[in-house]
Structure 1
C-alpha cells in the first residue's frame, strides 16, 4: 500500500519547522555575545580581530544548523509524534512503512494509524518545535548589551588613563630596569618526531632534543643590542626586526640562559631561564618468546619460534634479525652470519616481530649453536639510534661424557665444546680492521659491537666452569682480592657469613677444576673481558692483543685431561662447650675498632653546605665544576639556577636556603656508626642498684 504524498509533505513541514526553530534559538543566543565581543575588539584592536570574530561566529552558526538538520531526522519525527499524539498508539513508524507487514493484524493497524494521522495533521497538527528559552536569552542579551556599552565608553576612559599612567611613572624610582613588553617563543620539533610546532609566551620551555627555537622579544625602551647568554659560555646575538628582536637556535641539551642588553638598563628580572630537553630514547626491545635466553633443542624440533616486541617514543625504523651459526669444534670451528630484514606488525611506535626459523634450511645439526639477536633502529635524524636484544641461544643437550666415581670424589673429562671460537673472533677482528677504510663510522662501530657481544657470549660460557661468577662484572683474581680485602666491619653480610657460617658458593666447591686449571681459566677470562671492552668501544685493533693472549691460554686449557671436584659437605667450625658461661674473653676483639674508616670522595658539597649555613661569601666555582662532572644529578638546571641567583645576590638569605635544600639530598652517605650506650635514667638506676644489692657486692 503506497503512502499518501500529502501525508509525507505535512510530516516534512513539521520536521523543517522544528529544525528552523532550533537554529533560530542558536542565532538568538550567539548574536548578542558575538556583537558585543566584535564591538569591543573593534575598539581595542581594530577591524581585523573584529572581522575574524564575526566570521568565527558565522561558521559556528552554520555548524549548529547542520547539526540540527541531522538530528531532526525521520526517527526523531516519529518519536515526537508518538509522544505528542496518544491516538497513534506508538505506531507512527508502522504507518510510514512502504511495504505491507506480514501479519494481517499489523496490516489493519497500519491502515488505521494512517487514517488517524492524515485526519489529525489536516485538522490540528501538533507543534513539535522547541519552546523559546526566554530567561537564558534575556541573560545573554544583557551581557551583549553590557559589552557594547563598555566598548562605547572606552574612548573616554582612554583619555583619563594616560594621566594616571604618567603620574605613576613619575613616582617610580629612576633606577627601574628594562621590561619585556612582548615575549614569543616559537618551538619547531625535529621532523622525525611528528610533533606539532607550538608557540609560548614564556621564556622557560620544555622541548624535544634537536628542536629549533625562535625568540621574538620586544622591550619597553630602546637598546643597542640584545643577546642570549647560555650557561655553557655560548652567546646568541638577536637581530633587530622593527620594534622586536629575533634569534634562532637549535637546542640539543638542557641549558640555562639569561638575556643581556647593550645601551639600556639591565632587565628588572635578571634571573636565568630554563630550557628542559626531552631526550630521544633508543628503542626498547622485549623478548616475548622464547622465555629464556638459552633454549635446549629437543629431538623432534624442526622450527624455532621467535617473538619480539619493540617500542619507541617517536617511531621505529628498520629491524634486522642477526643469525650466527657455529659449526664444528676446536680449530675447525666455522661461524656463518646471516641477516634477515623484519617488517613487524603494529603502528609506528610499537611493533611485534614474529619469525619462525627453519632449522634444516639453516643447516643446523647436532653439536651446532645458533645465536640470534634482534637489532631495531628508530627514526632519529641525522643519526638513528639502535638497540640490540638479548642474545638468544639454541643449543643441543650437553653430552655428559664418561664419568667415574670413587671414594675421593668425582672425575670428569674436560675438553668441553665451549673451548672453540676464540680463533674465529680473532679472524673476524682482523677482517674488520682491514675493512675500516671502506665502512662508514656507524657500520664500523656496529660490527665491532657485534664482535664484542660474541666475545661476551664466549666469556660467559667459560664462566660456567667457575660457577658463573663473572656474569655481572669483570673477572677478578680470588687470591688478589684476598690480599687487598678490607678490614672486617659491621653491617656487611659477607663478613657475618665468613665468621659464623659456611659459604656454599666458593669456587673450589662449585666448579669441576683443579687449582691450576682454575688459574688458567681465570686468566683467560680476564683477557676476554679486556677484549670485549675494546670491541664495545669500536677499537678492534686494541682488542687483538687480548684476544691472542686468551687464545694462548685456551690452548693450555685444552692440554688438561681431567678436572677434579673434592667431595665436601657442611663443615661448621668446632664449638667449644667448655667456655660457656665461663666469662673468658680470650680471642675477643673490640668491635668498634673494626669499622671501616670514612672515605673522602672529594665532593665539595659538604664544605659548600657549611658555607651556606654561615654568613660568609660562598665560592660557587667548585659547585659548577661538580655539576658539570656529574650530569646524572637530579634537576641540574634547577641547581644551576639557584646557584646563579645566589651569585647575583650574595646577601639573599632565601637564595641560600633554596640552594642548601637542593644540596642536602646530594651529600654523600655517611659510613655506618656505632650508637653510644645510653645511660640509665633515675628509675633505671634504682633498678640496677637493687640488682647489685641482691647480688652482694657491686659488680
Structure 2
C-alpha cells in the first residue's frame, strides 16, 4: 500500500466515524422535538415554530458533516505527525511525488512503509462516542418524561376543585373572572371603493370613509355588560350572538375618525383609535401639449392630447372640454365643444391613460384662431378634478405681432414682403393636383413657379445691393477690368505690385454689400432668406415641388423675422412739468394742521386650549411620589377632553400621550404618582399642542448723523 493510499483510507475512516457521531446527535435532537410536537400538538403558528427550530438544528449538523468531508490530506498528515511519534514527522513526504524526492527522502519513505502497514487507520485518528451516547440516552429520558408523566392537566385539577363548590358560587366566580378573549373587526367598505369586506384583529386600525364597522368580541365566560364608548360620549351596547356562546357583537357606520374604549362590566379598557380615510379627488397629469403652444404656418393643424388620470378607488368618466375663439376685435366668437374620453387602464383600474387627436380643420379653424381646452374627471364617489386650461394658437403670418406696435410703429417694408406665402399656397395646390394633371402641365407650372420665385428673389436682392445676378457666387471686390470705369491702369503688369496685391482688401469704392440701410444682423438674416429662395427655385425648375416646399417655408419664416426687426418708431410726446426751485420751496410747508391719526381698539384674544394651558405649569412642577390634589384632578380631566379632540384627527401622534394622561389621572386620584415617564410624555404633548408664542416687537435704537438729527428737528 502506497503512502497516499494509506492517507486516503485514514480520511475515509475518519469521515464515516464522524458521520456516525453526528447521526447519533441528530437522532437525540429529533427525539426530543418529536416528543414535544406529539404531546402538546401546537397550533399552526406554534407548529411552524417548533419545526423551524428543529430544521435549524438539523441544518447545523449537516453543515458540520459537510465540513468534515472537506478535510484535506495535508491536515491528516499534520495530525499524524503530531500524534504518531514513530513516524518521525515525515508523513508529509508521502504527499510529494517520488521524482521530486532526493536520496535521503526516498530512504525515509521506504522506512515509513512497514510502519504504515502496521498502523490501524481507525486508531490513526481516534473519535470518542461517549458524548454522543450520553446525549442520546438523555434525549430518550426527556422524551419519556414529556410523553408519559404529565397525564393530569390543569383543566382536570380545576374541574375537580370547582366541583366541590356550590353552584351559585361557581357562577359568581365565572362572572367575576370573565375577560375578553379575542376581538375582531369586520369592515364592509362602501360601494364606491369596489372592495370586498375584510376582517381586522388590531383594535387600532384604518378604514375607508363610509364603511360599516362590526366588532365581534369573544369572552372567557358570561358577562353582564359590554359597551363601546367613544370620545363623543356615545355608547354602543354589545348584543349576544345566539349561535355562538360567549360571543357579542355591535356595529355602526361612523361619520368621522374617533377614539373608543371597550368597557367590560363598567371597567374601562385602553384607548384605541379608528382613522377614516377620506376619498381623494382624481389626479390629472397632462404630458402633451405644452401649456402654451403655437402651430406654425405649414405644420399639421392637429392637437395631440396625452394625459394620465388616476384615483385612489377608480374613475367613472372623463371629458375634454374645448373652446374655440375665432375672429378679432369686437367680432370674436366663442363656442364650446365637449369630447368624452375613453379610459385605458395602465396598471390597474386606478390609473388610466388618455390619448386624443383633435383635427382643427374639421372644427372650421383657420389662421389666427385660438383653441383652449381642459380635462375634467369624476371618480366613483363625489370626487371631481379639473386641469389647468391649455392654450393652442394657429399662427397668422399676415398680422404683425410685435408688441411695440402700440408705440406708434411705422412699417417701412414694401407690401410684396408677403408674396412668399402666395408661392407656398400655389406650390401646395400643384402638389395636390399632380394626380390629375399630365406631366407636361406639372412641369410647366413648376417652371412658372420657379420664375416667380426668381422675380421675388431679385426684388429682395435689391435691399442687399444686388442690382443684377451677374455677381452671384463671385467676389465683386476681386474682379475688375480696364473698361469698368474704376480707373484701373492696364499697363500695370509688375508681378509684385503692392496695389494689385492689396486691391481685394482695401478697395475704397462703394460695394453692393454696403449699399443698404440694414443692420448687420438683419442683413445676415435676409441673406439666409435669399439662399433658401435659391434652393426653392432650383427644385421648382427641376419639377420637384415637394422638395422645394420646405425651403419656401424656411424663407417665409426668415422674411417675417426680418419684417419684425425692420421697423421704425416715433417717440411719444407728453407734458413736461416746469422744474421746481428746491432752494426756495424746501422745508417751507406748514404742518400745524396735520395731526397724527390715533386708532384705539380694544381686543381680547381668545386663547385656545385654556385647560391645557392651566394644567401644563402644575404638571411640569410635579415629581413621582405622594401628592394631595383637589381641583387638579378636574383640571386634568378637562385637559384630557381637549387632548382627545386633537387625537381624533391625529391618533398616531397623540394616542400614546392620551393613554399616559389617563394613567396619570388614576394615580393622582389614588394620591401617589409612580409613572415618571407619564409626566414627561403628557407635558411634551401639551407643549406641542399649544401654538408657538409670538416674539414681541422691541424698539430698535437708531443712530443718526448730526445732519439727520437737524433735519428731523426742523421737520417737527
Bin for the TM-score computed over the shorter chain: 0.3 to 0.5
Q: Report the structure number with the largest CA radius of gyration.
A: 2
Question: What TM-score, normalized to structure 1?
Answer: 0.43
Question: What TM-score, normalized to structure 2?
Answer: 0.42
